[in-house]
């Protein structure tokens, strides 16, 4: 399995760069991944969604869809695309150290 280094942390990743073990994740890794996907700084709004995704995944062992996030009032779609442009749920999940959602190509 491939590995990647983010800051001082070496973690296992899949072929697309998603962490294979979410327990290896930390905020330093999240900041490094964000920069790698062209998000220079994670704001409190970014962290709200990242924390929500991590909690959801921990509780359900699954990833929510964009439709679920919108339908349940988690985040307006416009805000999601503004915070995580060009593949918002895919980028947010990667930064959160979670698997790529099934709904993402």
Give catalytic residues, as residue numbers. Answer: 104
Cβ atoms of residues 63 and 93 within 8 Å: yes
Please state the separation of Cα 41 from the chain's center in Å: 14
β-strand 3-6 against 9-12: which pairing, if any? antiparallel
């Amino acid at each position: 399995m491939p590995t990647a280094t983010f800051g001082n942390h070496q973690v296992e990743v899949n072929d697309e760069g998603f962490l294979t073990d979410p327990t290896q994740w930390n905020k330093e890794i999240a900041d490094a991944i964000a920069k790698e996907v062209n998000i220079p700084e994670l704001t409190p709004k970014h962290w709200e969604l990242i924390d929500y995704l991590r909690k959801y995944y921990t509780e359900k062992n699954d990833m929510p869809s964009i439709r679920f996030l919108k339908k349940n009032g988690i985040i307006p779609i416009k805000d999601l695309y503004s915070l995580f442009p060009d593949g918002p749920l895919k980028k947010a999940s990667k930064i959160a150290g979670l698997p790529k959602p099934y709904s993402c190509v």
